[in-house]
Structure 1
Amino acid sequence: MSLAKDLRGAPLAEGLRARIAADAAAVTARGVTPTLAVVVASADPAVKKYAEAKGRTAAKVGVTVRLETVEPGAGQAAALARLADLSADPAVHGIILELPVDDALDAAGLIAAIVPHKDVDGLTAANLGLIAAGREADAIAPATPLACIALAEAWGPLRGERVCVVGRGRSVGRALIPMLINRDATVTVCHTKTPDLRAAIEPCDVVFVAAGRAGLITQAHLRHGQVVVDAGINVTDTGVVGDVAPDCAEIAAAMTPVPGGVGPLTSTLIFANLMQALRLQGHLAGGG
């Protein structure tokens, strides 16, 4: 039995890093040091580890990362003040709040405090609103939906395709749906409360899954020859798995592996978003 073509993120990320490095060099040549502030407001060692990983990627593309730590016990007001300072600092061009934050903090309120043109995660209401209004070029789009689209388009154009999005979360589905519409796809939306997932998925050419439930989509939900993009990340006793059962690769035309699919490209697209932030701030010409 033949397996689906693997849609892996690493090859796309490698080419993207070269373009980011060229853009960063162009900005630096104008006397501006591209700078990303990564804010950690958690005592969880894993959160700091993710922040430090961004620093390693930044070094490869000519970007400076400032690691900003807010002590978990400092409270919401202190975290908001730090984000306000970074938003006002002309030497900082992008801001990321590493999630999750400490349980005592309101993550949504902190995200809302980031000025939109420095919101490299693309999660502020202003950026999501611009995307929904069809003004994606004026926004910073969330990296995971961008990665999902890039991987699907590595297989073929989305224009005119019937696509299904399984999941409606803020970080993926809520942005991915209008982004697909902006690319002239015909979009069906469903989620864990949809009574007949197969009926929604079966007519579609491309299936995007970001529901946050391990193994939600099985072969029984799919037909032969579909392209499947799995943005799920679920930690189990046996390792990290996606929202799509691995044996779906036996009937899909192409499918992203987990890990190795959406994740590697998402981590690089954060820095592409920093270049978009620099464009919006007038430091870099042209499109990405």
Structure 2
Amino acid sequence: MGTKNSHPKFLKGKPLADEIKASVSLAASKWNSRGIQPRMAVVAATDDPAVEQYQRAKRKNAEKLGIDMRLISLGVECTQDELENRLEELSNDKEVNGILLSLPLAPHLHTESALARISAQKDVDGLTVTNLGLMLAGREDDAIVAATPKACVMLAESAVSLRGKRVVVVGRGRTVGKVLIPLLINRDATVTVCHSRTEHLADTVKEHDVVFVAVGKARLIGTEHLRAGQVVIDAGINVVEEGVIGDVDTHAVLDTVSKITPVPGGVGPLTSSLVFQNLIRAMEFQWDGAGE
């Protein structure tokens, strides 16, 4: 049986993404009717052509939703001061409602220092320490939640309730793994975290009901790590000779697991829609509900 985007075990992101896009489009229309255009600035400081291609595709989606997206490419030679000054300018620009910093940055640039220059109320990626702290404190209603971890949780919850479940997060990266942990705890899951220093990874992963993987290593998780009945959320994106694949060897484990997100077509489409939802949320914070 072919598995490309068609298997009944796949948890696809598009159905949830379409629902979110519809609500974002409606909200954006309401803001535009008040003479306030939802506007997001996407800042890149890299020479990776894939980043620019991805952002152009995202801008087309934004336009369909009534959102103005500005693509700001500072180039790979950009200095830390230039990057931080630009982010601070955008944070102070009242016509810009959301800011997204494309990661990874060029190797000589410091991500944490750059993120610190983004206003928490314009942080549509949910990665500033303010938003992370609110999530850790269990105050998601007061935060802008990072899009990829939220997409992972939503897809898992579309298959199973997380309350009381044993869940494992493989990967402790800044953008996904570390954010997933408080989100899962807030949903009453029992959480284990695995990383590069974890001993007996396969045995540990097998013990859990739901498996989240976000490492950035192609086919890291295979049949030896998984057992029957598990729900697997693969947030990995790896470009290999045959195309884009995840951190899980999907074809190998498909007969074993209960449900799994495909790559591409799983977490990715939902993440993109949640970024736009975060922009609307950011506007509500900035305007104190004036658009409702």
Kept in 2: contact 1:4–1:253 (CA 8 A):
no
Does 277-286 or 225-234 show the bigger shift?
Answer: 277-286
Cα offset, 1:11, TM superposition: 1.5
Per-residue deviation, residues 157-187 of structure 1 (Å, max 9, x unmatched): 2122221111100110000010011111111
> 2:188 pairs with 184, 188, 195, which one?
184
Per-residue deviation, residues 134-156 of structure 1 (Å, max 9, x unmatched): 11111111111011011111112
Residue 65 of structure 2 corresponds to 61
* Partner AA of 2:187 in structure 1: R
* Partner AA of 2:274 in structure 1: L
Counterpart of 1:155 in 2: which secondary structure? coil
Cα offset, 1:108, TM superposition: 2.5
Is 2:85 the counterpart of 1:81?
Answer: yes
Residue 21 of structure 1 corresponds to 25
Distance 2:163 2:64 in 1: 34
* Partner AA of 2:124 in structure 1: V
Kept in 2: contact 1:4–1:255 (CA 8 A):
no
> 1:30 pairs with 24, 30, 34, which one?
34
> Sequence identity of aligned pairs in percent?
51
Distance 1:185 1:74, change over 3 A: closer
Distance 1:223 1:82 in 2: 49
> 1:105 pairs with 105, 109, 116, which one?
109
TM superposition score normalised by structure 2: 0.92
Kept in 2: contact 1:173–1:210 (CA 8 A):
yes
RMSD between aligned alpha carbons?
A: 2.0
Per-residue deviation, residues 34-87 of structure 1 (Å, max 9, x unmatched): 110111222332222122122111012111111223244342212211111100
Residue 249 of structure 1 corresponds to 254
Distance 1:156 1:234 in 2: 27
* Partner AA of 1:102 in structure 2: A
Residue 237 of structure 1 corresponds to 241
Kept in 1: contact 2:45–2:78 (CA 8 A):
no
Residue 39 of structure 1 corresponds to 43
Residue 279 of structure 1 corresponds to 284
Does 265-274 or 171-180 show the bigger shift?
Answer: 265-274
> 1:209 pairs with 204, 213, 216, which one?
213
Summarize the alignment of residues 142-153 of structure 1 with structure 2, pairs less than 5 Å apart. 142-153=146-157
Does 251-260 or 192-201 show the bigger shift?
Answer: 192-201
Is 2:229 the counterpart of 1:225?
Answer: yes
Cα offset, 1:103, TM superposition: 3.1
Distance 2:266 2:14 in 1: 8
Cα offset, 1:252, TM superposition: 0.6
* Partner AA of 2:67 in structure 1: V
Distance 2:138 2:21 in 1: 27
Residue 273 of structure 2 corresponds to 268
Count of matched residue positions in the alignment of Structure 1 and Structure 2? 287
Residue 154 of structure 1 corresponds to 158
Counterpart of 2:158 in 1: which secondary structure? helix
Cα offset, 1:213, TM superposition: 1.6
Distance 1:34 1:67 in 2: 14
Distance 1:74 1:201 in 2: 41
Q: Structure 1: state its 5+ residue gaps.
A: none
Cα offset, 1:240, TM superposition: 1.6
Distance 2:218 2:143 in 1: 31
Distance 1:193 1:106 in 2: 24
Is 2:160 the counterpart of 1:131?
Answer: no
Distance 1:115 1:48 in 2: 24
Counterpart of 1:165 in 2: which secondary structure? strand
List structure 1 segments (4+ residues) > 4 angstroms apart after TM superposition.
1-4
Counterpart of 1:38 in 2: which secondary structure? strand
Counterpart of 2:36 in 1: which secondary structure? coil
Kept in 1: contact 2:125–2:147 (CA 8 A):
yes
Distance 1:263 1:205, change over 3 A: same
TM superposition score normalised by structure 1: 0.93
Counterpart of 1:73 in 2: which secondary structure? coil
